[in-house]
Each structure stands twice: as C-alpha cells, then as structure tokens.
Amino acid sequence: MEEIDKEKLPRHIAIIMDGNGRWAKKKNLSRISGHIKGVDAVREVVTACRDLGVGVLTLYAFSMENWQRPKEEVEALMELLRDYLLKECEEMVSNNIRLSAIGRLEDLPANVRTTLEEVMKKTGSCNGMILNLALSYGGRSEILHAVREILSDFKKGKIKEEEIDLPFFSRYLWTRGLPDPDLLIRTSGEFRISNFLLYQIAYTELYLTETLWPDFNREELLKALADYQSRERRFGLTSEQINGL
Ligand code: FPP
C-alpha cells in the first residue's frame, strides 16, 4: 500500500480514461463491454478521490471527436452515461459530491442533457468534492468559445481591453471557478493530450500508465498520487528558490 501525505494531495485531478476498447479486445469481448467495465472503474476512482479528500476530479468521458465513432458505440456510451447519472445521483448527494460538466453540452441527446441537469441541480449545494465530467469536450473549442464570448462582451461595452489578463481569461473557460489540474493521469500507455484541458494544464504534472482504464482502481490511483508527491513542482523557478535556499 502506497503512503500518501494527505497534506500534499492534488487539489484537482484530471483523467484521460483510455483503453476500454483494447481491454475488451484482449478478452474477446465487444468494445461496449469495455466501456461497461470502464464505468465500474469510474465508480471506484470517484469514491477513492472522495475518501482521500481530493477537491476536484475531472473525467474525460466523451470528446467532440468521439461523435465520429460507430453509431452503436456512441449510443451505448450515451446510455451508459445516463444510466450512471441516474444510479449514482443519491450516492453523490449522500457523499456530498457536486456534479458539474464541461463541453458542448448542447450536443448531447436531450434525455442525457436533462438527466445531467437534474443531477447537477440535486447535487448543487454539495461541497465535499466536485465531479466534473468532460462531455462533447474539446480544448481548442473551449479556447475559441472563450475568445468569442470575450469579444461579444467587449462589443456590448461590458469589459475594457485592460481587464483582459490571465485570471480574467480563465473566467471565460468552461472550467471557470475550478483550480487548474495539479495532476493529469492518462491510462493505456498513450503519450498524448488529445485536446484535453489545453489551457489549464500549463503546469500540471503528467502521470502516464500502461494500465488500461477498466483495470484502473484505487491502488492504481494511490500509485499515481505517490508518484506525484515525489516530484518537485517548480512552476518555472529554480529548486533553490522553491526550497527557500
Ligand atoms: C476511451 O477508451 C474511453 C472512452 C472514449 C469513453 C470513456 C467512457 C467511460 C469510461 C464510460 C462512461 C463514463 C462515465 C463518466 C460514466 P477507448 O474506447 O478509446 O479505448 P481504445 O483506445 O482501447 O479503443
């Protein structure tokens, strides 16, 4: 069992949950079976983060590019997502978890969107942890959306050019109000960012593991946290500056 320092936990963990398809293929199962097992991993990791005291967990559940997958797979993922939200709502409320979502939520099927909004409303006053789902999400589109909103507010005379600094820009992103991720985990041995939180991960620590998402569990999360805690985060400074030498 890994030793975790509760005082040095990441405030925000973001995860690219990859490898459901390969997990299924290895077992001669359908890709959908991989996603079903992936949902079990989601449950375990959400509970583990809540138990540990992580403030925000962002899960890359569906990218804008994922709409191009075969129709049956897209439909199955949407159904799994809705099912998860319906089943977990009570659990989220009793564990004081607030649900939020980022992405082009207007792209989601109406029933998924309605369920998502209902769960966000029901968990709206929970303050133990934020579970943030990235749905129909793309990092470049998020940045473009922010630029368009800023331009629109500028034209309306709501903002002045001098106001536009980095904290201001962050408030126009879908992640407004959330701290930037301290730790980004990607499963399944890929070394890519895949259009995830491009603006927010400027100083995020990356943890890449060969483990496929359906096999990712509490123990794997603790390994990632132990690795994270062994690093020195310098944010562009020198080691001496960080340690006050
Ligand atoms: C990547 O595996 C995974 C996805 C595109 C979907 C992730 C979705 C879930 C884990 C289930 C639904 C989510 C929630 C929050 C209930 P892949 O299919 O790209 O795997 P492969 O690269 O091995 O083919």
Residue 153 lies in a domain: no
Ligand 1: residues with CB < 6 A are 17-22, 35, 38-39, 42, 59, 61, 66, 77, 80-81, 84, 133, 188, 213
Is 83 a member of any domain?
A: yes
pLDDT of the chain along its 245 residues, tens only? 678 999 999 999 999 999 999 999 999 999 999 999 999 999 999 999 999 999 999 999 999 999 999 999 999 999 999 999 999 999 999 999 999 999 999 999 999 999 999 999 999 999 999 999 999 999 999 999 999 999 999 999 999 999 999 999 999 999 999 999 999 999 999 999 999 999 999 999 999 999 999 999 999 999 999 999 999 888 889 988 888 87
Residue 42 contacts residue 17 (beta carbons within 8 Å): yes
5, 18, 127, 165: the catalytic one is 18
Beta-strand runs (E) in the chain: 12-16, 56-63, 97-102, 129-137, 183-186, 205-208
161: in domain? no
Q: Examine residue 222 and state whether it is found in any structural domain, yes or no.
A: yes
CA distances from 169 to 146, 154, 162, 166, 195 (A): 7, 13, 12, 5, 18
| Residue 66 known to be catalytic | yes
Report pLDDT for 2. Answer: 73
Q: Is 28 a catalytic residue?
A: no
Indicate whether 170 belongs to any domain.
Answer: no
pTM (predicted TM-score):
0.96
Structural domain span for residue 69: 6-136+180-231
Select from 129, 144, 155 the least CA-distant residue to 50.
129
Gyration radius from the chain CA atoms: 19
Residue of minimum CA distance from atom 10 in ligand 1: 38
- Split into its structural domains, the chain has a count of 1
Q: What is the CATH number of the domain that holds 220?
A: 3.40.1180.10
The DSSP call for residue 237 is S
